[in-house]
């Protein structure tokens, strides 16, 4: 049996968008810049530069904007959802800022209706890229799985 290659240009383009979202959320938090500033930077500069240098396939910028806007729009709900999964006494601010960005972006995409399995796999790949040693990936796996289950329960109630 021949396996279908799941790494189509469309799938890679979406993966790039998810990576951009994590980077943009991190940048917004660390540099205290606005949503419009980060959208402009990634749309007008970063995506074109990365594509020109052959670092990445062009991002699905519509998906990037959707995830980023939903994250900002629902940040209070998203942060409460994440904090509810952490050990008592661990506020969300105590989580590594990159992991926090991964959790926020993943939760946002779940709210957009992307299948949980896709969201978990994609954002775990991003976590593995940033944290190859593994402990953060174990945390990411647990939190992403629990977020997916919680979002599914809330959507079905």
Angle between helices 135-156 and 97-111 (to 10 degrees): 30
The pLDDT-based confidence of 3 (bands split at 50, 70, 90) is: very low
Q: What confidence tens digit (pLDDT) does each residue in 47-88 have?
A: 777 777 766 678 888 999 999 999 999 999 999 999 999 888
Identify the residue with better confidence: 1 or 87: 87
CATH number for the region 9-156 comes to: 1.10.940.10
Least trusted range by pLDDT, from 2-11, 25-34, 66-75: 2-11
Instruction: Report the distance separating Cα 155 and Cα 157, nearest Å.
Output: 6
Give every CB contact of residue 38 below 8 A, 6+ residues apart in sequence.
24, 27, 28, 68
Q: What confidence tens digit (pLDDT) does each residue in 124-156 have?
A: 999 999 998 878 888 899 999 999 998 876 665
Give every CB contact of residue 42 below 8 A, 6+ residues apart in sequence.
20, 23, 24, 59, 61, 64
Tallying the residues shown for the chain, one arrives at 157
Q: Where are the domains of the chain?
A: 9-156
Model pLDDT, residue 54: 66
Whole-structure pTM value? 0.88
State phi, psi for 107 to the nearest 5 degrees: -60, -40
Model pLDDT, residue 6: 54
Model pLDDT, residue 22: 97
């Amino acid at each position: 049996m021949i396996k279908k290659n799941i790494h189509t240009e469309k799938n890679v383009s979406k993966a790039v968008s998810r990576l951009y979202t994590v980077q943009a959320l991190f940048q917004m938090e660390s540099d205290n810049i606005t949503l419009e500033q980060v959208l402009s930077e990634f749309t007008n500069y970063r995506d074109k530069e990365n594509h020109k240098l052959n670092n990445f396939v062009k991002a699905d910028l519509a998906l990037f904007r959707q995830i980023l806007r939903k994250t900002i729009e629902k940040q209070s709900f998203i942060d409460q959802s994440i904090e509810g999964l952490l050990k008592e006494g661990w506020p969300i601010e105590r989580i590594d800022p990159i992991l926090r960005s991964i959790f926020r972006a993943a939760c946002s995409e779940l709210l957009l209706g992307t299948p949980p399995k896709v969201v978990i796999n994609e954002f775990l790949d991003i976590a593995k890229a940033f944290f190859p040693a593994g402990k953060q990936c174990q945390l990411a796996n647990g939190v992403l799985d629990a977020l997916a289950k919680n979002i599914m329960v809330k959507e079905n109630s």
